[in-house]
Amino acid sequence: MTPEDTRDRLGDFLVDRRMLLIAAIALPVGALGGLAAWVLLRLIGVVTNLCFYGRWSWHLVSPGATHHPWWLILCVPIAGGLIVGLMARFGSEKIRGHGMPEAIESILTRGSIVEPKVAVLKPVSAAVSIGTGGPFGAEGPIIMTGGAVGSIVAQHLHLTADERKTLLVAGSAAGMAATFNSPLAAVLLAVELLLFEWRPRSLVPVVAAVAVATAVRGPLLGTAAIFPVSTLGVHPHADIDALAILIGCCGAIVAVAATWLVYRAEDMFGRLPFHWMWWPAIGGLIIGLGGLVEPRALGVGYDVIDELLTGRATTSLIVGILIVKTLIWSLSLGSGTSGGVLAPVFMIGGALGAAVGMGMPTVFPGFWAMLGLAAVVGGVMRSPITGVVFTLELTQAWSAALPVLIASATAYAISVLVLRRSVLTEKIARRGLHLTRDYSTDPLETFFCGDVAQHDPDSLARARRAEPVATLAPRDTLRHAAYVMAESGRREAAVVSADGAVVGLVTVDDLLTPRRHDLNEATVRERPRKLFAARS
């Protein structure tokens, strides 16, 4: 075959008809993800009503919507944290955290395999945490729950690792779309945070799942915008666009401060001289103390976000949310409880925009709160396009697209310059992994093998002695090593340290005679013959 014939066979994407099969499987995954979102929201409603109002109802209500005795506001979050700690200790530690880092870690290190019990324990623990006053969102847990559904389906069908990843992300995006009625933002979140690629083989199934989840949401939760804003045909002018930069700068400051607080709190909890099972209860104490100052900072807070984005929030509420919500969310999240980050970021960003907007010209009610929301999302999540589309889909204020984009991109630019990692990736880095979120085209992809091939026998011999393609981290388990070798088709894998140095080699023989029979516990560091004997 001539080079010309080869070029004629190549296209923009590497894709085959199996993409259609995975998209077909993604349809029921999307439906299950949408149902999971509905169940989680109802569970939160049940727990909130039982704990704060003493009634049986599944409708969402704010814990601080009416006055409660001080002891109730203080004690209920502590009890909720204790329950979550017990569930994590005796159920599954995977329910700890806010969902997105756990989903990313599953994709990167476990071949997109999620235990079935996580699909049950994660929404229940999140419902307990949020329903007892936790200032968290439902979206992080639903990402993990929907992802678990997609992963379980893929495992039962014995699909490849890439296909498991696609269905995991499809379930996660489906849950997100059903929670916020934001299909486009859910797809963008999948691309910017979870897929680590932009390919038809993954994008088409994710879109299919999101479409079904959004359709399922209609009869269950409605089809209207979550926080509709009336723009009255207003179109912001250039001077308003310039002021959006100021909102973006303020949003970056809040984003950096909140991210710093989350991980300083995690460091402080890590130094406590007792088991992490008790940490969420201490986080609950912080939540209860904050609730005594501003009760409406408790819970998921959709009603407060609505007041901020429609311009109906009072000055005391704006200031209280901006200070109290930021503190109790950041500090309690570091305790390892179960709850998401997106809804709190929406509320904090909306309060910031509303506060700064008091000194700005009036555009339409809630305009500056919208910009603050997009800015803080862009700064905290490092996903500016997702933040913009989320803001516009939640409010349907599409005429404000340009200033929203400016605010989000400004906060994003400052955040990436000041902080090396985001609230999502810092936890992954602390577990010994490195994640880069730069997307680019590899220049080598433009060359053909024949253009760069070496025909010299010595060069071929050196190539055969090259380092193995498969790589592992020292903390990886032997089971993961076996999975990596099977997926790559190699009988060996290089062990690479955090600084990129090759520190050892694991072979198939190393996996046949482990020190311990439990491959889930033994790590590649425990293979002394080829790895670390010379260093120890």
Q: What is the pLDDT of residues 375-398, one digit of tens each?
A: 999 888 888 888 899 899 988 888
Looking from the CA of 480 toward its CB, the CA atoms found within 13 Å total: 23
Of 47-61, 196-210, 419-433, 520-534, minimum mean pLDDT range: 520-534
Domains and CATH numbers, the chain: 18-221 (1.10.3080.10), 238-430 (1.10.3080.10), 454-526 (3.10.580.10)
Range in 63-67, 311-315, 437-441 with the lowest mean pLDDT: 437-441
- Two structure tokens written together for 271: 């130094």
pLDDT at 7: 57
| Bridge partners (DSSP) listed for residue 471 | 494
C-alpha span between 9 and 152 (Å, rounded): 36
pLDDT class of 143 with cuts at 50, 70, 90? confident
* DSSP result, 390-424: HHHHHH--GGGHHHHHHHHHHHHHHHHHH-SS-TT
- The answer to whether residue 3 scores a pLDDT higher than 60 is no
Q: Residue 99: what pLDDT?
A: 64
Average pLDDT across the chain, whole number: 81
pLDDT: is 506 or 464 the higher one?
506
Distances (CA, A) of 494 to 65, 484, 530: 57, 11, 11
What is the model's pLDDT at position 133? 87
pTM greater than 0.85:
no
pLDDT for the residue numbered 148:
84
Q: What is the model's pLDDT at position 25?
A: 93
CB 477, CB 520: distance < 8 Å: yes
What's the pLDDT at 481? 78
CB burial of residue 271 (10 Å; 0-12, 13-18, 19+): exposed
300-320: average pLDDT = 88
> Is residue 527 predicted with pLDDT exceeding 70?
no
Examine the pLDDT at 454 and tell me if it is beyond 60: no
> Is 533 a residue whose pLDDT tops 50?
no
CA trace torsion 35, 306, 371, 440 (10° rounding): -10
**pLDDT category, 489, cuts 50, 70, 90?**
low
Chain-centre distance of CA 195, in angstroms? Answer: 11
Q: In what order do the strands lie in the sheet with 492-496?
A: 471-472, 492-496, 502-507
Provide the pLDDT confidence category of residue 114 given band limits of 50, 70 and 90.
confident
Residue 532: predicted pLDDT: 40
Q: What pLDDT shows up at residue 362? A: 83
Spatial separation of the C-alpha atoms in residues 453 and 447, rounded to whole Å: 10
438, pLDDT greater than 70: no
- What does the pLDDT look like over 161-213, one tens digit per residue? 888 888 988 998 998 898 888 899 999 888 888 887 788 888 999 999 999 99
CA angle 380, 267, 146 (to 5 degrees): 50
Lowest mean pLDDT among 20-24, 227-231, 392-396, 499-503: 499-503
Task: Between 323 and 509, name the one with better pLDDT.
Answer: 323
DSSP sequence for 477-518: BHHHHHHHHHHHT-SEEEEE-TTS-EEEEEEHHHHHS-SSS-
Q: 376 and 255 in contact (C-beta within 8 Å)?
A: yes
In the chain, the percentage of residues whose pLDDT exceeds 90 is 21
Instruction: Please report the pLDDT score of residue 78 as a whole number.
Output: 93
Sequence-distant contacts of 267-271: CB under 8 A, at least 24 apart: 267/334, 268/334, 269/334, 269/335, 269/336
Element (H, E) at 456: none
Pairing of strands 471-472, 492-496: parallel
Query: Which string of b and e fits 12-30 if b means at least 16 CB within 10 Å?
Result: eeeeeeebeebbebbbebb
The pLDDT of residue 511: 67
| Residues near 52 by beta carbon (within 8 Å), at least 6 away in sequence | 61, 63, 68, 72, 76, 133
